[in-house]
Chain A
């Protein structure tokens, strides 16, 4: 009983309106007629009641006979043969041409009536067709024919046809567009045990419950003596697509936050860089293969930028003869025009060079930059035309490779939550020693997390720095792909709204 009560309490207004009319086998169409609700409303009510276990919705496929275009017409105006017969029944004879039946239907009417021996036809002296009703015909004119009775029964199901209907059905099937048959889904109600109990109790169905909690209800305090309609709280609700941060951008925010928490200060630089800051100031020789035009995007116009002459001279000397650092230098003639060539920044280390050369660089100091970089590459699952680099440095008297290792360990713990790491020899043109940080990913195995090294004196000294500088870079794109479980780098920059909307948030 409790169950019955609970269910009764939870009925939605649509269900309440439908419930009184439920009986075994009643169809959806019948319920629509009886409740006066719209078909979707009855359907929803039935579905909810099915969810509650009151009914089962039975679906049957049935062959249904319906009125077709002419059939609709004949149902109102009468069949052509009947209209024809009625016009001549009271007369002895009549000219066929004077009978009011549309030309298209005339032949059908004449054919039908002759077949049934309801009329006789003759031609008069002028050749005109004269018609008269037979006695049988006169009796037919006053009666409803089987066909007419059948039309009134429509729509009906083929399986429900009575023997007398069969005749009309077969006759109409041969005629144009009077009836049509189609297969339709008929939904009908099957009462469950619970449903039967509820129908027995329906007298106790209180129709006066609080449906919506309105200001009116609150003001009148009617809630004090009425029940609330209980909701089906398990029901699926429509999805909303509210605002959220983009998955990759959110990841970068997280990386920035971690670096700040580790004591790094933000640095940056322009998207359009010069060869000087992008590579020359990093002690990358101008003839290095990484400098080939195929690796960088060069600017069409203007082609050259301005570089401070004092600092350029020092960098030039470093390349040519080591600038008094104890280095031989790269030993070639530094091209002072090429160094001014403008390009799109290829590496975040350009920002480190700018920071080291700036007047406000703090020593000891720790810096980071999350920068957009660009390389001449075919866009595919692992390369994008744009990518992000997270680069930085630590500058302080007395730093050693041991500190570099300590820093990399900290990065592995912070960014990959792992202490299982390997620090292996690596190569960068601007650091010596250079080391790569590999971290063990539970599924992917060893992944390269960061590159690092101690800036070469040929790089730091011309920029005015005399203390050891540990440089590091994290492939933040790749890190994000691991963290977000993304296999294609282009998904980091996805423009597909369904993808963006369904991306899980990281925490």
Chain B
């Protein structure tokens, strides 16, 4: 969810009306935006819609606001001036980064503020919608330093060198990926490719090495520049064209004249920016059915125009800076927003249904109640844990763990397979708290075998006199209250003292371990009181006693 920053005065100028902060806040609801911070005249606005990048610019927001305020309505179209500027796309980029869109602008001046706005939109667009430049990367240049036609081609990494933005010396493309900070950050995008994309003009001056970095020569825009060149490259044709459209519309809001560039794909020519001229059929009926309203066609048309769509006899004309419309529901949402969510009447859900929980949910809740009744404090832990705690400190072998390939920290690098270790850790953390410490936790564990989850409950008593008798009394109490007959078999479990550990059997199925914790394990947790514990598999127990 991108956050952008702009000046309120600038927004007001672009809208053509002075808006209070409250009004801006209200209008931002329509744009799924939310003010995150205010710093004097400056607003930071978070946009919730990751699919509507035109709203990640103050120019785009202002365009929508003008519609919502009735200052303008309907579709806004871009009418680029013709030019002789051309980009010749070489076949060599076809398998690397095949698509490019471009235009140039004239007639207004860039100042520091506008430069920041351009860079902001560029960053937000390329990071989020452009998938960190994989799908789309964007470059802006000083138009006057470029000699057309520009060539877009793939070259060998060591065959070209130029001075990258921010550096005082020439480097080969390979070097840039190894040394330049931006090169290093995005090098993975070109991993395994024999040649790299390059934009170079007719004087053999490099414009940029997309999607990595611009040249210091022409790829550096300064305050005071008025003639700019824009290009977007990527592996998604529509996304690349959308980038050009969004930027061209933004520049147009600023009073720039937009000039077209011809893209020549080996003889197949197209004008850029390209108008999608997309439309979708949406009827008033569809909208009413979904929104629960009673709109007439004329009203629908009015609402659509307020939201900057065009409408022509059942056909909704989609602005060229939007590519998010896949289905009529996308338009219907905007009709609803334009109508006002707050004005749509709320209705109660009509059908009577009976709520319920899973039988096993009720079962585990009863087990928890019994543990509380015995005076045990309930604990609630994260499910994520680590194998050192689950096995090493408990002196047992790994019994099949779901481990995370990309853990954020070793502390949370697998799903827990049992709960007792987390309770031991808790005892270890609370050595200076009053004893007795009687605690339990009921919750899910996940086993690698069949990737199955189980409801479990660990019950632990720690104090100077804690022993097997006490924990077996607890087991008796729980089993007795469920009306379950159980047996205990001698077993070996290294977390417990040999001869003081048992496997609890119900209807032939092992459902719990119970015993006194081994002094070696107590030492691992730095504990100096005896601990008796049990861990019940409630899922298995529930299955074993189900009638």
- Which residue numbers of A lie inside 8 Å of B, CB to CB? 241-246, 248-249, 253, 256, 259-266, 268, 270-272, 287-290, 292-294, 297-303, 305, 322, 325-332, 342, 344, 362, 364-366, 372, 374, 376-379, 384-386, 394, 396, 400-403, 405-410, 422-427, 429, 432-436, 454, 456-458, 468, 492-493, 495-498, 500-501
Whether A243 contacts B326 in the complex (CB less than 8 A), given A300-B405, A344-B404, A407-B349, comes out as: no
With A400-B292, A427-B51 in contact, do A376 and B408 touch (Cβ < 8 Å)? yes
A332 to B236, CA, bound (A): 9
Give the chain B neighbours of A305 by CB distance below 8 A: 451
Residue numbers in B under 8 Å from A454 (CB-CB)? 290, 329
A403 contacts B135, C-beta separation under 8 Å? no
B358 touches A424 (CB 8 A): no
Query: 8 tightest A-B contacts by CB?
Result: A400-B292, A402-B292, A260-B355, A433-B333, A327-B327, A405-B346, A427-B49, A246-B378
Q: Which residues of B contact A322 (CB under 8 A)?
A: 326-327
Chain B residues within 8 Å of A248, by CB: 380
Q: Mark B13-52, 1 if CB is under 8 A from A, else 0.
A: 0000000000000000110100000000000000011111
Complex contacts, A435 vs chain B, CB 8 Å: 341
Known: A300-B404, A377-B408, A500-B379. 8 other contacts (CB 8 A): A271-B383, A325-B327, A328-B326, A374-B384, A386-B384, A403-B292, A427-B51, A454-B290
Check if A288 sits within 8 Å of B50, measured CB to CB: yes
> Which of B82-90, B105-113, B138-146, B430-438 is found at the contact surface with chain A?
B430-438
* Closest CB in chain B relative to A248 CB, distance in Å: 5
How far apart are the CA atoms of A454 and B345 in the complex, in Å? 16
Distance in Å from the Cβ of A222 to the closest Cβ of chain B?
Answer: 35
What are the residues of chain B within 8 A of A379 when measuring CB–CB?
408-409, 412
Whether B381 pairs with A424 at a CB distance below 8 angstroms is: no
Q: Which A residues are CB-close (under 8 A) to B328?
A: 326
> How many Å from the CB of B452 to the closest CB on chain A?
8
Q: Report chain A residues within 8 Å CB of B351.
A: 364, 396
Give Cα distance in the complex from A364 to B353, angstroms. 8
Q: Which of A261, A266, A290, A457 has the most CB of B within 10 A?
A: A266
With a cutoff of 8 Å between Cβ atoms, the chain B residues found around residue A329 in the complex are 326
Residues of A within 8 A of B404 (CB): 297-300, 344
Task: Pick the residue among B292, B329, B353, B429 that contacts A496 (CB under 8 A).
Answer: B429
In the docked arrangement, what's the CA distance between A495 and B441, Å? 11
Interface contact A342-B451, CB-CB below 8 Å: yes
Contacts A268-B358, A493-B380 hold; do A299 and B346 have CB atoms under 8 A apart? no
Which chain A residues lie closer than 8 Å to B329 at the CB level? 432-433, 454, 456-457
Check A263 against B380 for contact (C-beta < 8 Å). no
**Contacts A344-B404, A407-B349; A492 near B380 (Cβ below 8 A):** yes
Smallest CB gap from A405: residue in B? B346
Known contacts A271-B383, A400-B289, A423-B342; decide if A298 and B327 are in contact (CB<8 Å): no
Q: Given the complex, which residues of B lie within 8 Å of A436, measured CB to CB?
A: 48
CB of B131 within 8 A of CB of A287, answer yes
| Residue ID in chain B nearest A256 by CB atoms | B357
Query: In chain B, what residue has the closest Cβ to A301?
Result: B403
Taking A325-B327, A457-B327 as contacts, is the C-beta distance between A271 and B453 under 8 angstroms?
yes
Contact of A299 among B238, B403, B408 (CB under 8 A): B403
Residues on A with C-beta less than 8 A from B348 are: 403, 406, 410
Distance of A422 Cα from B352 Cα, bound (Å): 26
Cβ–Cβ contact A394 & B349, under 8 A: yes
User: In the complex, which residues of chain B have a beta carbon less than 8 angstroms from the beta carbon of A495?
Assistant: 379, 381, 422, 425-426, 429-430
Selected A-B contacts with CB under 8 Å, 19 pairs: A241-B434, A244-B372, A265-B353, A266-B361, A271-B383, A294-B406, A331-B238, A374-B383, A386-B382, A394-B349, A401-B336, A401-B341, A427-B51, A429-B50, A432-B333, A495-B381, A496-B429, A497-B426, A498-B430
Known: A253-B365, A305-B451, A378-B408. A243 touches B378 (CB 8 A): yes
Assess whether B358 is in contact with A266, with CB atoms less than 8 Å apart.
yes
**Nearest-CB residue, chain B, relative to A366:** B353
A436 CA to B405 CA, complexed, in Å: 34
Minimum C-beta distance from A304 to chain B (A): 11
Is B357 a contact partner of A243 (Cβ separation < 8 A)? Answer: no
Interface residue range, chain B: 35 or more
- Closest A residue to B30 by beta carbon equals A425
B430 cross-chain contacts in A, Cβ below 8 A: 495-498
**Residues on B with beta carbons closer than 8 Å to the beta carbon of A394:** 349
The reply to whether A265 and B403 contact each other, CB–CB distance below 8 Å, is: no
The distance in angstroms between the C-alpha atoms of A301 and B415, with both chains bound, is 12
CA distance A216 to B36 in the complex (A): 74
Does B326 contact A245, Cβ atoms closer than 8 Å?
A: no
Interface check B222, CB cutoff 8 A: no
Contact partner, A401, options B49, B292, B377, B415, Cβ 8 Å: B292
Give A292 to B127 CA distance when docked, in angstroms. Answer: 12
B51 touches A432 (CB 8 A): no
State in angstroms the CA–CA spacing of A385 and B135 once bound together: 29
Q: How far is the CA of A298 from the CA of B402 in the complex (A)?
A: 10
Report yes or no: A244 in contact with B333, Cβ–Cβ below 8 A: no
Q: Given the interface contacts A403-B349, A405-B347, A432-B327, does A427 sit within 8 Å of B289 by beta carbon? A: no
The one of B132, B341, B381, B406 that contacts A298, using a Cβ cutoff of 8 Å: B406
Fill in one digit per residue for B271-305: 1 if any A CB lies within 8 Å of its CB, else 0. Answer: 00000000000000000011111000000000000
Check A293 against B289 for contact (C-beta < 8 Å).
no
Chain A neighbourhood of B355, CB < 8 A? 259-265, 366
The answer, among B32, B131, B415, B437, for a CB contact under 8 Å with A426, is: B32
Q: CB distance A270 to B380 under 8 Å?
A: no
Beta-carbon contact of B291 and A326 below 8 Å: no
A290 to B344, CA, bound (A): 31
Known: A243-B376, A366-B349, A495-B425. A433 touches B336 (CB 8 A): yes
Write out the residue numbers on chain A whose beta carbons fall within 8 Å of the beta carbon of B439: 497
Q: How far is the CA of A477 from the CA of B307 in the complex (A)?
A: 36
B517, CB-defined interface residue at 8 Å: no
Closest B residue to A293 by CB, please name it.
Answer: B406
Q: CB within 8 Å of A: which of B401-419?
A: 402-409, 412, 415
Contact B353 A365 (CB under 8 A): yes
Question: Which A residues are in CB contact (< 8 Å) with B384?
Answer: 297, 374, 385-386
**CA A256 – CA B332 in complex, angstroms?**
33
Flag if B291 contacts A497 (CB, 8 Å): no
A400 lies within 8 A of B347 (CB): yes
B181: Cβ under 8 A from any A Cβ: no
Contact, CB under 8 Å: A249 / B341: no
A262 to B356, CA, bound (A): 10
- State the Cβ distance, B59 to closest chain A Cβ, in Å: 20
Q: Which residues of A contact B438 (CB under 8 A)?
A: 243
Contact residues in B for A293 (Cβ distance below 8 Å): 406
A339 to chain B, nearest CB (A): 16
**Distance between Cα atoms of A495 and B379 in the complex (Å):** 7
In the complex, what residue of chain B is closest to A269 when comparing beta carbons?
A: B453
CA–CA, A246 to B328, complex, Å? 47
* Interchain nearest-CB distance for A16 vs B (Å): 32
CB distance from B263 to the nearest CB of A (A): 21
In whole angstroms, what is the CA distance A377 to B346 when docked? 37
- Are A245 and B378 closer than 8 Å at their CB atoms? yes
| B378 CB contact (under 8 Å) in A249, A298, A325 | A249
- B224 CB within 8 Å of chain A: no
Chain B residue numbers with a CB within 8 Å of A362 are 353
Contact A497:B341 (CB < 8 A) given known A266-B358, A299-B404, A401-B292: no
CA distance A241 to B433 in the complex (A): 11
Inter-chain contact B29/A468, CB cutoff 8 Å: no
Closest-CB distance, B38 to chain A (whole angstroms): 14
Which residue of chain B lies nearest to A265 when distances are taken between CB atoms in the complex? B356
B330 to chain A: which residues have CB within 8 Å?
A: 432
Quick check: A260 and B357 within 8 Å, CB to CB? yes
Are B341 and A385 neighbours in the complex by a CB distance under 8 Å?
Answer: no
Chain B hits for A366, CB < 8 A = 349, 353, 355
* B501 CB–A CB distance under 8 Å: no
* Inter-chain contact B290/A401, CB cutoff 8 Å: yes
Residue pair B405, A299 in contact (C-beta under 8 Å):
yes
Closest-CB distance, A362 to chain B (whole angstroms): 8
